Chain A
Amino acid sequence: MKRPRFEASGLFTLLAAALILGAVASAAIPFASPAGAAAKGKLVLAWHAGFASRWLDPQEHDGTATPDNFFTAIHDALIKNQGTALYDYPALAEHFSVAADAKSATFTLRKGVKFHNGDPVTPQDVKFSYENYRGAKADVFKKKTERVEIVDDRTIRFVFKEPFLDFAILFGTANVAGPGWVVPEKYYKQVGADGFKQKPIGAGPYKLARHEPGVRVEMEAFDGYYRPVNVKQLVMISVPEAATRVAMLERGEADIVYNVPGELITKVGKLPGVTLAPVLSGSFFIEFPGFQDPKNPFHDKRVREAVSLAVDRRAMNQAETAGMGKPTGNWINNDVQYAIEWPEYPRNVEKAKQLLREAGYPNGFDVDWVTPLPTFYSRGERLIAQLREVGIRGRLQTMERGIYFQRLQGGLKEFPGTQIILHGVRIAGSWSFWYEGHFKCGGFNSRDRICVKDLDGKFDQYERSINPAERKKLAEEIQRGILDNYYLVPVFRHAFVNAIGPRVVLQKWQDVFPTITTGYAYPWEDIKVKD
Chain B
Amino acid sequence: MARDAVLRVADLQTHFFTFGGARVVRAVDGVSFTLHAGETLGLVGESGSGKTTTCLSIVGLLPRAGRIVGGSVLFEGADLTRKSQRELRRIRGRRIAVILQDPMASLNPLFTIFRQVAEPAFFHQHLRGRSLRERVQSLLRAVRIPSPEWRMREYPHQMSGGMRQRIVGAIALAGGPRLVIADEPTTNLDVTIQAQYLDLLKDIQRETGVALIFVTHNLGIVAKMCDRVAVMYAGKLVEQAPVRELFDAPKHPYTRALLGSMPKLGSKEPLYSIRGHPPNLASLPSGCSFHPRCPDVMPRCMTEEPRDFRPGDGSVARCWLLDDVLTRS
Q: Do chains A and B touch in the complex (CB under 8 A)?
A: no
Q: Give residues in A with beta carbon < 8 Å to B.
A: none
Q: Give residues in B with beta carbon < 8 Å to A.
A: none
